[in-house]
C-alpha cells in the first residue's frame, strides 16, 4: 500500500512597488558557525558561476525570469535567475517573474545537488510552483550543481 502525503505552501505576494526591502545577508547552506567562513561558497554563488559558464545563446532561447523563495524557519531568502540576460542576483525581480518557486532550504539543497528529482519534489507538494511550469522543468542544467 502506498500513502501519498501532499503538503501545500500558501504565500501571499505583494506587488513589487509595495514590498518592504529586506536585508539579504543570509548565506544558504551555512550554519551559524560557518557564516564567518568566507572560503565556503554559498549555493546561490555557485549557481551564479554555473549560469555564467553555460552558453548564453541557449540560456536566452529558454529565457524567462525565475524567482526562488527559500524558507528557513521564519525567514524567507529570495533570489532571481534571469535567463533573458542571463544572470543571477539576490532579491526579487523588478517585474513579475515568469515562474516562482517556494520551498524550504532542505528541499532546495536536494534539488540543486541532484539528490532528488525536481518532478518528485513538485508532485509531493514540497515545492510550490506558480507560473510557467513547462519552462521551469527545463531549468535543471542551470541550477543543478555537480
The structural architecture, per CATH, of the domain 41-140 is: 2-Layer Sandwich (3.30)
Residues contacting 46, CB < 8 A, separation 6+ = 145
C-alpha cell at position 47: 549557481
Helix (H) or strand (E) holding 66: strand 65-72
For the CA atoms of 74, 116, 123, 131, the dihedral, rounded to the nearest 10 degrees, stands at: 70
Give the per-residue pLDDT at 30.
39
Bridge partners, residue 87, by sequence: 82
Q: Mean pLDDT score of the chain, rounded to an integer?
A: 78
This model's pTM is above 0.85 = no
Bridge partners, residue 80, by sequence: 67, 89
User: Cβ distance 44 to 79 under 8 Å?
Assistant: yes
Give the per-residue pLDDT at 107.
92
Residue range 5-55, pLDDT digits in tens: 545 545 555 555 554 444 333 334 433 334 433 322 488 888 999 899 889
Give the per-residue pLDDT at 23.
37
| Block residue for cell numbers 516562482 | 100
* Alpha-helical runs (H) found in 5-139: 43-53, 56-62, 105-113, 118-123, 133-136
Question: In the chain, what are the domain boundaries?
Answer: 41-140
Cα gap 8→124, rounded to integer Å: 9
Amino acid at each position: 500500500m502506498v500513502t501519498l502525503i501532499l503538503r501545500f505552501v500558501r504565500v501571499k505576494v505583494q506587488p513589487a512597488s509595495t514590498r518592504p526591502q529586506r536585508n539579504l545577508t543570509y548565506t544558504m547552506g551555512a550554519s551559524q558557525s560557518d557564516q564567518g567562513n568566507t572560503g565556503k561558497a554559498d549555493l546561490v554563488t555557485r549557481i551564479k558561476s554555473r549560469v555564467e559558464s553555460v552558453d548564453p545563446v541557449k540560456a536566452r532561447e529558454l529565457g524567462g525570469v525565475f524567482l526562488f523563495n527559500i524558507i528557513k524557519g521564519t525567514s524567507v531568502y529570495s533570489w532571481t535567475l534571469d535567463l533573458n540576460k542571463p544572470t543571477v542576483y539576490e532579491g526579487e525581480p523588478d517585474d513579475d517573474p515568469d515562474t516562482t518557486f517556494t520551498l524550504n532550504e532542505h528541499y532546495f539543497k536536494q534539488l540543486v545537488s541532484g539528490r532528488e528529482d525536481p518532478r518528485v519534489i513538485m508532485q509531493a507538494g514540497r515545492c510550490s510552483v506558480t507560473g510557467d511550469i513547462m519552462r521551469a522543468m527545463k531549468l535543471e542544467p542551470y541550477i543543478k550543481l555537480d
